Structure 1
Amino acid sequence: MTSRILPPPGAPRRLAAAQLANAVGDGAYYVCSALYFTRVVGLSPARIGIGLTLAWAVGSVAGVPLGALADRRGPRGTSVLLALATAASVASFLVIRSYGAFVLAVVAYATAQCGLAAARQALLAGLVGPGQRTGVLAHLQSVLNAGLALGAALGGIALGAGTGPAYRAALALDAVGFLVCAGVLLSLPAVAPVPQRSAGQPRAAVLRDRPYVLVTLLNAVLLLRMPLLSLAIPLWIAERTSAPGWLVSALFVLNTGAVMLFQVRTAGPVTDLDRARRALRISGRAMAASCVVFALSALPTAGWAAAALLVAGALLQVDGEMRQSAGSWQIGFALAPAEHIGQYQGFFGAGVPVARTLGPTVLTSLLLVWGIPGWLLLGAVLLAASYAMGPAVRWAQAGRGDARPAGAGVRAGEAGARAGQEAGPVGGPSSA
């Protein structure tokens, strides 16, 4: 069981420990933050939504320069500083009393989170060889889900108490988690920064890489699946089906448990761009099928039949989710040049805050207003985007000639060897 979740000893396991520390806190934060801001701080849901939309929009833009900073100054130090900045922004939630302070705090939080994601990807690239990265990322995703589940359970205790101190304790747990994350990241071997750019070289090289921009945009479309489980499907169950309300929780547990147990195995075969493209095509078919099954759950039928359809749709969805994650990890790293990997990962990772920003509005409008046709349209869009990834990746490959994958050059080769000597075995299993 642990081999499906924990990566091998050394740098990968320390990265997993850092991931677990902040995931536990994030799990508590996710389940308590909305009620804290409404019941304790006194903000309206509409104003919270506007603030969060602005915050993640700023964060998606900030990921590129912060990723470039990790390239220039070294990803370990940048990761530590951004983890500390995230902890400070979460801690500031405990003392805010006005809407202006809330907006400043959530903008700082989203910016630090997006930058931290890019810097940690650059750090992973410097410590783990190209052939093992997708497997290690699969382990980290399993650890993330385990941590979120544990944190959500702890947050549930705060929800049960329903008091200001209980909510603040949940948020304080998140701040402490990022402090622990910073300490674990600091214990990793340092990765040398890339050389400074030469005169005349564009500052934001990724924005001039049109094939990579296209790949990133397609990945952002595929990430519209993210708000499905947390927002769209619960509302769909409540408003459009005869299934029992408790099924919302059951589907969340099903998704989290499946990713925790099977993400590593699913990602194992995805070791090059050809297999990444194939994984995305299969993912697109699974997601399209899940949309059809979710749509059928709204037909007039018994509650148990609607529940069975929703469970079947959730199983197809999580299979597509795991394959899409594995394929996108491989593509995002393999097409990024070694000298700009932090910047490129910051841009590629912008799909997550974009999905968080646009996804709720798009999905609720599409599914709850259009109903069954909306599900069918969503499935068609996800299928088309997954198949379009193939030509986009080939275009990117053609523009790179015989360029090696990100991290296969001087920095990753030398730093990875040093990490192996200082931190023990780095390579992961072939099966993810």
Structure 2
Amino acid sequence: MSWGPVHFPAMGTRDTIRTAVANVVPPAGLTRALAVQAMVYAVGSGLFHAGSAVFFTRALGLSAAQVGLGLSIAAGVSLLGTVPLGGLTDRYGPQRVWIIGLVLNAALFATYPFVGGFAGFLAVVVALAAVDASTGVARQVYSINALPPAERVTAMAYQRSSLNVGFGLGAVISGVVLAVDTIEAYRGMVWFIATVILVTALFVRRLPRLPQVTRPVEPMGRLAVLRDRPFMTVSLLSGLLTAHGVLYLTVMPLWILTHTDAPKAVIAALVLLNTVLIVLLQVRVSRGADTAAGAARASRRGGLLIALFCLVLPISGVTRGLLTVVVLVAAATLLILAELIESAGTWGLTATLPPDDQRGAYVGALRLGEQVQYLIAPAGLTALGVTTGGWGWFPAAAIFVLIGLAIVPAVAWAGRTPRLGSPAPEPAMTPVP
């Protein structure tokens, strides 16, 4: 009797586990190094996001209104500075800008405990916004320049998966700080964050140095990229699709609290579901987005999934008990899939559309669309989805369908149009009959 067939399921199980691990643990080399630094940085970032509101009010003695005003002004600085600060990467190199930005970031965090009043708080958060704008562009440009085209989107997916692991660890640490709830604990928190950022800078310093990209003979002005209408159209459409974050973390919780009978604990469970699925699935669903056309299709699918979420979520307003929770989990899963796929599309566009010699300026311009979304999505989507009582979800769904359908021709338009400062493509030769 042959026992061979008995072993086949075990082999299948091992292969499944191996595949699952490969989709979470990045391969050795530069991809893994970038993922590790992302996770280390995210520990500090996750800690601050979870504990900042209490730190600002408890340790710095600011009012909620002062905190909100300061953060709004900082967001405006980030919006205005994204494009001109992105150009620093083209001038000085992504790795240098990235390291200097991290060191400045750490120094600014270290000064937080010494802030006296609103003016000092405003100075720090505005400076942090400017530094973050340049550092974010430099990080993306380095990842793109350092890796071959076929590996860029996958590497960014591994980084995002690692970021979520780091965010989770930071949130756990913040729970300890909030439980202690002393001024000394909050000061120690920001100094710990500053240390984590410096460790990240050391990681970045040890990354391979890249050859300097040849700059154009006649470089663009700092805001010239804004005249590239096809590219800026893609930036706006792609940026609007990142509203999945506002929907998940702001609008959906407000809907659950005001229009459903679900327990409040469901909100925390859905946040955990988001973290787990991103860690497990981000790399897998990012395949196929490493070309401009593939990235456009991924963005379209993301937009259509957001629209489907907008149609499923309001059902939870007319259900009761366990069925409400089931509907909420289904809606949340749709939105998570939209986030996973749309993110891959954004990375693909970031990696393929900007020209090599002006990548910093163009990556900054692509991020501008996301900044615009941050200004309009929280108020707009809350008004449509929550304030209307539910019927506003239908026009919201229609908006995301239109955006999703529009982004594919917009990317095609940008693809056949030369970037500013780049030579126009030579016309194809037609044989003379």
Same-fold status (TM-score > 0.5): yes
Separation of aligned partners in 2, 1:254 and 1:84: 34
Separation of aligned partners in 2, 1:355 and 1:284: 14
CA contact (8 A) 1:87 1:179 kept: yes
CA contact (8 A) 1:232 1:367 kept: yes
* Residue-by-residue CA offset, 1:174-227 (whole Å, 9 max, x unaligned): 222211111111111222333344347444342121111110011121112212
Q: Give the alignment's Cα RMSD to 1 decimal.
A: 2.0
Separation of aligned partners in 1, 2:386 and 2:191: 36
Q: 1:231 aligns with which of 240, 250, 255?
A: 250
CA contact (8 A) 1:295 1:371 kept: no
Which of 1 and 2 has greater Rg? 2
Separation of aligned partners in 2, 1:87 and 1:230: 27
Listed as ranges, the matches of 1:97-246 within 5 Å are 97-199=116-218, 201-246=220-265
Name the residue aligned to 1:60.
Answer: 79
1:90, CA displacement in angstroms?
A: 2.0
1:124, CA displacement in angstroms?
A: 1.0
Separation of aligned partners in 1, 2:307 and 2:107: 41
Separation of aligned partners in 2, 1:26 and 1:88: 15
Separation of aligned partners in 2, 1:227 and 1:263: 19
Listed as ranges, the matches of 1:310-325 within 5 Å are 310-325=328-343
1:394, CA displacement in angstroms?
A: 0.8
* Residue-by-residue CA offset, 1:211-251 (whole Å, 9 max, x unaligned): 11110011121112212222222222112210000011100
Separation of aligned partners in 2, 1:202 and 1:67: 12
Separation of aligned partners in 2, 1:200 and 1:84: 28
Listed as ranges, the matches of 1:20-59 within 5 Å are 20-59=39-78
CA contact (8 A) 1:62 1:111 kept: yes
CA contact (8 A) 1:72 1:193 kept: no
Return 207-216 or 312-321, whichever deviates more: 207-216
Q: 1:261 aligns with which of 280, 294, 300?
A: 280
Secondary structure of the 1:297 match is helix
Letter in 1 for 2:288: P
Name the residue aligned to 1:341.
Answer: 359
Separation of aligned partners in 2, 1:222 and 1:343: 21
1:2, CA displacement in angstroms?
A: 4.2
Secondary structure of the 2:258 match is helix
Separation of aligned partners in 2, 1:92 and 1:2: 41
Question: TM-score under structure 1 normalisation?
Answer: 0.88
Return 259-268 or 105-114, whichever deviates more: 105-114
1:389, CA displacement in angstroms?
A: 0.5
1:281, CA displacement in angstroms?
A: 2.0
Secondary structure of the 2:211 match is coil
Letter in 2 for 1:323: I
Name the residue aligned to 1:409.
Answer: none
Name the residue aligned to 2:327.
Answer: 309
Secondary structure of the 1:259 match is helix
1:309, CA displacement in angstroms?
A: 1.0
Label 1:236 to 1:161 Cα distance change in 2 as closer, same or farther (>3 A).
farther
CA contact (8 A) 1:117 1:349 kept: no
Listed as ranges, the matches of 1:5-24 within 5 Å are 5-24=24-43
Return 188-197 or 29-38, whichever deviates more: 188-197
CA contact (8 A) 2:88 2:134 kept: no
Name the residue aligned to 2:6.
Answer: none
Question: TM-score under structure 2 normalisation?
Answer: 0.88
Aligned: 1:381 with 2:399: yes
CA contact (8 A) 1:244 1:303 kept: no
Return 204-213 or 167-176, whichever deviates more: 167-176
Separation of aligned partners in 1, 2:207 and 2:79: 27
Letter in 2 for 1:73: Y
Label 1:387 to 1:187 Cα distance change in 2 as closer, same or farther (>3 A).
same
Letter in 1 for 2:344: A
1:321, CA displacement in angstroms?
A: 0.6
Separation of aligned partners in 2, 1:173 and 1:374: 44
Secondary structure of the 1:336 match is coil
Name the residue aligned to 1:281.
Answer: 300
Letter in 1 for 2:181: G
1:82, CA displacement in angstroms?
A: 0.6
Aligned: 1:326 with 2:335: no
1:270, CA displacement in angstroms?
A: 1.9
Letter in 1 for 2:394: L
Separation of aligned partners in 1, 2:223 and 2:209: 24
Gaps of 5+ in 2: 1-19, 423-433
Separation of aligned partners in 1, 2:228 and 2:382: 33
Name the residue aligned to 1:419.
Answer: none
Label 1:229 to 1:95 Cα distance change in 2 as closer, same or farther (>3 A).
farther
Name the residue aligned to 2:418.
Answer: 400
1:253, CA displacement in angstroms?
A: 0.4
Separation of aligned partners in 2, 1:284 and 1:200: 35
Name the residue aligned to 2:4.
Answer: none
Q: 1:368 aligns with which of 374, 386, 408?
A: 386
* RCO higher in structure (CA 8 A, sep ≥6): 1
CA contact (8 A) 2:244 2:338 kept: no
* Residue-by-residue CA offset, 1:302-350 (whole Å, 9 max, x unaligned): 2322211111100000001111011111112211001011111112123
1:110, CA displacement in angstroms?
A: 1.6
Aligned residues: 402
CA contact (8 A) 1:28 1:173 kept: no
| Identity between Structure 1 and Structure 2 (%) | 34
1:24, CA displacement in angstroms?
A: 0.6
